[in-house]
A and B are shown apart, each in its own frame.
Chain A
């Protein structure tokens, strides 16, 4: 659990480069890579769990298949999915943070300002 409700920004200040004619393509690439990362996180956790369980002879595959979740478990999974989506959709949040916080300024103007 978080110690405070403080939220640190995820958006680095500055104009985000655009590589494809439609900026949505860049965002999709970011989303897909983040999603791949979350799949890898899940994989590592599953791998850990299954190795521990197998080593201790605790849980069979049938036990997992026949598991029935309670309402509390389902609510916990809802909360997990919310955090999961915030991670995967981070680039969309960056757009929102820019709209909230930054005065428009081209990156080229910053390069020129430091090369004076």
Chain B
């Protein structure tokens, strides 16, 4: 079953408009990505089994030990090279297909972001916040300019680009609101901790707030906060939340070091943020979470599964983004030692937990490939959660 047509994304007030040609170009990118994931990518496993692994074993007299050895062997394979080249191109085409309409209507989007009817949320920016090197060195997931670059006064371009591209990147499988990670994670938290009633919730690395809103829905009495290092995505997140009628407090802060008081939050969450930091930064984020949590508070992060939980070839395919899609920390973040991180940050390692949360978006089910692989994000139908209780 082909993924959702791109016009099925929910048209909130700040979503960019597409001409019919722009929409057709985005539909093509979605079809290309789906074709690459379902018809081209499976050939990589065949290339591995039929020629790369036999050649490796003939040479080394043993099977490859891990995904690193598989990668080194596969990198010279012509089929893998061709798929990789097309996959990289499809990613660049995706951003371009979204940037063109945003570029065309940027003045309108900036004006709209300022004029939406208020829902009570706030936006606090810090123009002096240093952009951390793990965002400044390369543009994460090949998004030109990353989350932080500003092209005009009061710019929202990167927010508009990201919101639209997430829908195309996941081929609509994270719901019309792009909220599946947040919705699945909060559903899991409510099942796991039925008596837990957080009063204040922090979403770290919230970007456009697509994963933040499910917490406002699930805990309507809680105060909801979202932080990110990028001003354009936060302006957009604020406008998006207000237009959807949710009260969220967004501020421009680095999760390694925030200005909230000790013990301010009962629940701290992030959604595919960890892999966009660094080993050093994430250790600081852990320590900051420990400081910010009240006694009995919980922190939960979602990512794709750690490599140790996957067959080595699948780990190799999931690891494609590390070297090919400007996700430098993707690989190392999939090999974290959670118990050690807990202990180092002052959490009780016995209260560290991991879980697989099924997707909350059931309509996406028929459109999933059930595979964790590069270029097929949201295809697995399950989110990997890890967390800590204070």
Q: Do B322 and A19 have beta carbons less than 8 Å apart? A: no
What is the CA–CA distance of A30 and B108 in the complex, to the nearest angstrom? 31
What is the total of A-B residue contacts with beta carbons within 8 Å? 156
Chain B window 317-332, contacts with chain A (Cβ cutoff 8 Å), 1 for yes, 0 for no: 0000011101011011
Given the interface pairs A41-B25, A105-B137, A111-B328, the reply to whether A8 lies near B88 with Cβ below 8 Å is no
B323 neighbours in A (Cβ, 8 Å): 17, 107, 111
What is the CA–CA distance of A13 and B134 in the complex, to the nearest angstrom? 12
Closest to B146 in A: A13
Q: Do B106 and A12 have beta carbons less than 8 Å apart? A: no
**In the assembled complex, A48 has its CB within 8 A of some CB on chain B:** yes
Q: List 19 A-B contacts (CB under 8 A).
A: A2-B104, A3-B105, A10-B96, A12-B138, A12-B139, A12-B326, A13-B137, A14-B326, A17-B84, A26-B89, A37-B28, A37-B93, A44-B20, A45-B21, A87-B25, A110-B137, A111-B328, A114-B277, A114-B280
B322 neighbours in A (Cβ, 8 Å): 111
**In the assembled complex, A4 has its CB within 8 A of some CB on chain B:** yes
Q: Do A10 and B95 have beta carbons less than 8 Å apart? A: yes
**In the assembled complex, B341 has its CB within 8 A of some CB on chain A:** no
Given the interface pairs A4-B107, A114-B329, A115-B279, the reply to whether A37 lies near B25 with Cβ below 8 Å is yes
A10 neighbours in B (Cβ, 8 Å): 92, 95-96, 99, 144
Chain A window 85-116, contacts with chain B (Cβ cutoff 8 Å), 1 for yes, 0 for no: 00100110010000000000101001101111
B151 neighbours in A (Cβ, 8 Å): 6, 8
**In the assembled complex, A7 has its CB within 8 A of some CB on chain B:** yes
B3 CB, min distance to chain A CBs, angstroms? 15
What is the CA–CA distance of A116 and B151 in the complex, to the nearest angstrom? 32
The contact of B32 among A4, A37, A41, A110, by CB within 8 Å, is A37
Closest to A14 in B: B138
What is the CA–CA distance of A48 and B20 in the complex, to the nearest angstrom? 10
Q: Give residues of chain B (1-60) contacting chain A, Cβ–Cβ below 8 Å.
A: 20-21, 24-25, 27-29, 31-32
Interface residues of A (CB under 8 A from B): 1-4, 6-17, 19-20, 25-26, 29-30, 33-34, 36-38, 40-41, 44-45, 48, 87, 90-91, 94, 105, 107, 110-111, 113-116
For chain B, which range describes its interface: under 10, 10 to 19, 20 to 34, or 35 or more residues? 35 or more
**In the assembled complex, B299 has its CB within 8 A of some CB on chain A:** no
Q: Do B142 and A37 have beta carbons less than 8 Å apart? A: no
Q: Give residues of chain B (125-183) contacting chain A, Cβ–Cβ below 8 Å.
A: 133-134, 137-139, 141-146, 151-152, 157
Q: Give residues of chain B (174-211) contacting chain A, Cβ–Cβ below 8 Å.
A: none
What 13 new A-B contacts, CB under 8 Å, besides A12-B141, A40-B31? A1-B104, A3-B108, A8-B102, A10-B95, A12-B92, A25-B85, A30-B92, A30-B93, A33-B90, A40-B27, A41-B25, A113-B133, A113-B137
A11 neighbours in B (Cβ, 8 Å): 144
Given the interface pairs A3-B104, A13-B146, A29-B85, the reply to whether A114 lies near B21 with Cβ below 8 Å is no
What is the CA–CA distance of A31 and B67 in the complex, to the nearest angstrom? 31
Given the interface pairs A6-B106, A17-B323, A41-B28, the reply to whether A91 lies near B152 with Cβ below 8 Å is no
Q: Do A114 and B332 have beta carbons less than 8 Å apart? A: yes
A10 CB, min distance to chain B CBs, angstroms? 5
Closest to A109 in B: B137
Q: Do A116 and B278 have beta carbons less than 8 Å apart? A: yes
Q: Which 5 residue pairs spanning A and B have beta carbons closest together?
A: A14-B138, A114-B278, A12-B142, A12-B139, A30-B89
Q: Do A13 and B107 have beta carbons less than 8 Å apart? A: no
Q: Do B93 and A33 have beta carbons less than 8 Å apart? A: yes
B218 neighbours in A (Cβ, 8 Å): none
The contact of B280 among A30, A94, A116, by CB within 8 Å, is A116
A38 neighbours in B (Cβ, 8 Å): 25
B86 neighbours in A (Cβ, 8 Å): 29, 33
Chain B CB within 10 A, most for which of A19, A90, A114: A114
What is the CA–CA distance of A111 and B275 in the complex, to the nearest angstrom? 12
Q: Do A19 and B81 have beta carbons less than 8 Å apart? A: yes
Q: Do A19 and B84 have beta carbons less than 8 Å apart? A: yes
What is the CA–CA distance of A110 and B136 in the complex, to the nearest angstrom? 10
**In the assembled complex, B344 has its CB within 8 A of some CB on chain A:** no
**In the assembled complex, B366 has its CB within 8 A of some CB on chain A:** no
B329 CB, min distance to chain A CBs, angstroms? 5
**In the assembled complex, B103 has its CB within 8 A of some CB on chain A:** yes
B100 neighbours in A (Cβ, 8 Å): 87
**In the assembled complex, B116 has its CB within 8 A of some CB on chain A:** no
Q: Do B24 and A41 have beta carbons less than 8 Å apart? A: yes
Q: Do B143 and A12 have beta carbons less than 8 Å apart? A: yes
B81 CB, min distance to chain A CBs, angstroms? 4
B104 neighbours in A (Cβ, 8 Å): 1-3
